[in-house]
């Protein structure tokens, strides 16, 4: 009976809130959920910016001050304030599901781009979406609406880690999600663990990290949690990832589901000269480029070594990360630092302009689960030379034909020759551009969002059946 009351209370609350909005009561009572979320988001950011909010401030107090919750009993006993038409609306309006998109760090990288696009798509379909990050890594991160942080920066000691985990649990309890979607390996392991402690919401784990990027303790935890049921569903974004996880236990694999990434079109009509002016790049040179985290796994040193082979080439790197100093030192050693341009992190809305600067997109990464940056570049009409990984051959093709040049990036001579062939062979470049046009339809953003809607529906129905079964 307690579970039934809880379900009824949740339904009445959502229906009452939406119905009040139609009746114009949200402006009077402050119960509009969108207003509530923007207030909560703003206060959370202000707190982490160390603005004075009073010694007793907590996010929960903000929720209590703007959220006017009424139980099903109170609603039944309240005077009739609407016409029969309004009553009919209340009986037909479906409650919005609250979704948390949770991941480790806030930065303008591939996993965060997918989360941003998915959140936007779910919001457009009527879901209430929160973006919850463990900490903020990049000052230039282009945060979507309703973004919350558990810490202002990466925890540097055990006490800071405990405070971050406590804040994570507090956010989850306050939001009261219907489903939690986690991203990246730490987001999956830590996020699912804390979520299961403080909420009964099902967890959908998105495996957007290659096994190479996981330490063995994290990988072991992921296997155990996926096998015993911490994750209701585990999404993989490529068939190659399915093969990589084929050795995992059967109970883990039974929860896996292939959901290819969708992507936002990054092609623009901006002229190359104007685009280069925006980023202060030389106008009259052959410009290679890459957009990626500055991390050893991206193997950007291979791209830098190309400059030593051909003095007329320049290289622009868009991204930030711990490997920047090492890459600068390598450029100094090779005496190519005057032709290496660090652009820094670029928000999603400026990525199209950056790609418009380039003659060739070079992607020597040694481990990927999808290779979103290369797919975006190819689709934008930039010829791509990429490392010969199974997953990149899978995703960078259309109708069985390659939409990029594949080469062993560890072979410096072969990598240089591939770039030279694209620059010299106009027919080859045109052929790759034509094939890459099909990537937009192959990786439709709407298709990705629709697939997640189906997964969310299945997860919530299963959770509802389990709750009803216990009554």
Say if residues 201 and 195 touch (Cβ distance below 8 Å): yes
pLDDT in tens, 193-207: 999 999 999 999 998
Note whether residue 20 is domain-resident.
Answer: no
Angle between helices 185-198 and 158-175 (to 10 degrees): 60
Which tokens belong to 212?
A: 């190479």
Given a cut of 60, whether residue 1 has pLDDT beyond it is no
Query: 3-state DSSP helix/strand/coil percent for the chain, to nearest 5?
Result: 50, 15, 35
Q: 417 and 448 share a domain?
A: no
- pLDDT given at position 266: 87
Say if residues 97 and 456 touch (Cβ distance below 8 Å): yes
Note whether residue 287 is domain-resident.
Answer: yes
Given a cut of 80, whether residue 92 has pLDDT beyond it is no
- pLDDT given at position 71: 35
Give the span between the Cα atoms of 202 and 236, in whole angstroms: 17
Note whether residue 29 is domain-resident.
Answer: no
Give the span between the Cα atoms of 198 and 397, in whole angstroms: 43
Q: What is the pTM of this model?
A: 0.76
Confidence of residue 209 (pLDDT cuts 50, 70, 90): confident
397-398/401-402 β-pairing: antiparallel
Q: 287 and 256 share a domain?
A: no
Angle between helices 412-424 and 300-309 (to 10 degrees): 70
CA-based torsion, 286, 292, 293, 299: positive or negative: negative
Q: 150 and 177 share a domain?
A: yes
Residues 6+ away with beta carbon under 8 Å from 398: 435, 436, 437, 438, 439, 442
Note whether residue 392 is domain-resident.
Answer: yes
> Rounded mean pLDDT of 412-425?
96
- pLDDT given at position 140: 66
128-136/98-106 β-pairing: parallel
pLDDT in tens, 133-179: 999 887 767 677 889 999 999 999 999 999 999 999 999 999 999 99
Q: 319 and 406 share a domain?
A: yes
Share of the chain above pLDDT 70, in %: 77
- pLDDT given at position 49: 38
pLDDT in tens, 259-289: 988 988 888 778 999 999 999 999 999 999 9
Note whether residue 9 is domain-resident.
Answer: no
- pLDDT given at position 347: 85
Share of the chain above pLDDT 90, in %: 61
Strand order from edge to edge, sheet including 286-291: 340-344, 313-318, 286-291, 360-363, 384-387, 405-407
Q: 246 and 395 share a domain?
A: no
Which tokens belong to 2?
A: 């307690």
Q: 455 and 434 share a domain?
A: no
- pLDDT given at position 36: 33
pLDDT in tens, 112-133: 888 899 999 999 999 999 999 9
Return the closest-CA partner of residue 184 out of 164, 151, 155, 206. Answer: 206
pLDDT in tens, 287-298: 999 999 999 999
Helix (H) or strand (E) holding 149: strand 147-149
Could you tell me which residues are beta bridge partners of residue 235? 206, 257
Q: 341 and 394 share a domain?
A: yes
233-236/203-207 β-pairing: parallel
More confidently predicted of 170 and 107: 170
- Count other C-beta atoms under 10 Å from residue 30's C-beta: 14
Give the span between the Cα atoms of 360 and 355, in whole angstroms: 9
Q: 144 and 188 share a domain?
A: yes
Could you tell me which residues are beta bridge partners of residue 340? 315
Which tokens belong to 201?
A: 């919401």
- pLDDT given at position 85: 43
Angle between helices 59-66 and 33-48 (to 10 degrees): 160
Confidence of residue 313 (pLDDT cuts 50, 70, 90): very high
Confidence of residue 94 (pLDDT cuts 50, 70, 90): low
Average pLDDT, the chain: 81
- pLDDT given at position 468: 60
pLDDT in tens, 164-173: 999 999 999 9
Say if residues 292 and 364 touch (Cβ distance below 8 Å): no
Give the span between the Cα atoms of 390 and 398, in whole angstroms: 15
- pLDDT given at position 154: 92
Say if residues 334 and 306 touch (Cβ distance below 8 Å): no
Could you tell me which residues are beta bridge partners of residue 234? 205, 256
CATH of the domain at 232: 3.40.50.2000
- pLDDT given at position 391: 94
Q: 373 and 393 share a domain?
A: yes
Q: 258 and 277 share a domain?
A: no
Give long-range contacts, CB 8 A cutoff, 24+ apart: 381-387: 381/267, 381/433, 381/436, 382/355, 382/358, 383/359, 383/422, 383/428, 383/429, 383/432, 383/433, 384/360, 384/432, 384/436, 385/360, 385/361, 385/415, 385/418, 385/419, 385/422, 386/362, 387/299, 387/363
Say if residues 356 and 272 touch (Cβ distance below 8 Å): yes
Say if residues 260 and 283 touch (Cβ distance below 8 Å): no
Number of domain units in the chain? 2
Confidence of residue 424 (pLDDT cuts 50, 70, 90): very high
pLDDT in tens, 18-55: 333 333 333 333 333 333 333 333 333 333 333 333 34
Give the span between the Cα atoms of 336 and 347, in whole angstroms: 27
DSSP label at 150? S
Identify each DSSP E strand in 280-327 by its residue range: 286-291, 313-318
Note whether residue 307 is domain-resident.
Answer: yes
Note whether residue 107 is domain-resident.
Answer: yes
Given a cut of 90, whether residue 213 has pLDDT beyond it is no
Q: 356 and 471 share a domain?
A: no
Confidence of residue 465 (pLDDT cuts 50, 70, 90): low
Which tokens belong to 28?
A: 């009077």
Note whether residue 46 is domain-resident.
Answer: no
Q: Is 19 helix (H, G, I), strand (E, B) or coil?
A: helix
Return the closest-CA partner of residue 129 out of 109, 99, 156. Answer: 99
Give the span between the Cα atoms of 272 and 356, in whole angstroms: 6
Give the span between the Cα atoms of 185 and 133, in whole angstroms: 13
Give the span between the Cα atoms of 358 and 382, in whole angstroms: 7
Q: 174 and 281 share a domain?
A: no
DSSP label at 122? H
- pLDDT given at position 41: 38
Give the domain extent around 363: 272-442
- pLDDT given at position 270: 85
Helix (H) or strand (E) holding 99: strand 98-106
């Amino acid at each position: 009976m307690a579970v039934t009351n809880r379900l009824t209370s949740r339904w009445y609350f959502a229906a009452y809130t939406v119905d009040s909005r139609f009746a114009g009561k949200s402006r009077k009572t402050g119960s509009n959920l969108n207003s509530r979320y923007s207030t909560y988001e703003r206060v959370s950011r202000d707190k982490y910016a160390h603005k004075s909010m009073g010694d007793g401030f907590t996010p929960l107090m903000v929720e209590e001050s703007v959220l006017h919750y009424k139980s099903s009993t109170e609603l039944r006993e309240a005077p009739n304030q609407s016409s029969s038409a309004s009553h009919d609306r209340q009986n037909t309006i479906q409650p919005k599901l609250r979704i948390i998109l949770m991941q480790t760090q806030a930065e303008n990288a591939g996993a965060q781009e997918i989360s941003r696009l998915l959140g936007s798509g779910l919001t457009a379909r009527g879901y209430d979406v929160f973006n919850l990050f463990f900490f903020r890594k990049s000052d230039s991160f282009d945060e979507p609406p309703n973004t919350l942080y558990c810490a202002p920066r990466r925890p540097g000691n055990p006490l800071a880690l405990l405070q971050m985990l406590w804040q994570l649990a507090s956010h989850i309890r306050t939001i009261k999600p219907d489903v939690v979607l986690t991203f990246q390996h730490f987001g999956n392991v830590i996020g699912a663990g804390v979520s299961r402690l403080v909420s009964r919401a099902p967890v959908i784990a998105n495996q957007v990290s290659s096994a190479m990027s996981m330490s063995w303790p994290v990988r072991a935890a992921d296997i155990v949690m996926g096998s015993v049921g911490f994750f209701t569903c585990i999404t993989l974004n490529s068939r190659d990832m399915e093969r990589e996880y084929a050795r995992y236990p059967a109970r883990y694999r039974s929860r896996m589901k292939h959901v290819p990434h969708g992507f936002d079109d990054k092609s623009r009509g901006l002229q190359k000269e104007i685009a280069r002016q925006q980023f202060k790049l030389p106008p009259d040179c052959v410009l290679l480029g890459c957009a990626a985290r500055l991390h050893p796994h991206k193997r950007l040193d291979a791209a830098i070594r190309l400059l030593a082979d051909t003095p007329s080439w320049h290289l622009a790197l868009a991204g930030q990360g711990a490997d920047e100093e090492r890459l600068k030192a390598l450029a100094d050693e090779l005496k190519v630092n005057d032709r290496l341009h660090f652009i820094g992190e670029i928000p999603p809305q400026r990525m199209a302009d950056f790609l418009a600067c380039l003659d060739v997109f070079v992607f020597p990464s040694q481990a990927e689960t999808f290779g979103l940056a290369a797919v975006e570049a190819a689709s934008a009409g930039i010829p791509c030379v990429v490392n010969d990984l199974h997953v990149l051959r899978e995703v960078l093709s259309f109708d069985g034909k390659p939409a990029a040049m594949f080469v062993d990036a560890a072979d410096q001579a072969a990598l240089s020759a591939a770039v030279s062939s694209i620059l010299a062979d106009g027919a080859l470049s045109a052929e790759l551009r034509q094939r890459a046009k099909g990537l937009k339809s192959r990786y439709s953003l709407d298709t990705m969002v629709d697939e997640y809607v189906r997964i969310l529906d299945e997860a919530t129905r299963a959770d509802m059946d389990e709750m009803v079964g216990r009554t």
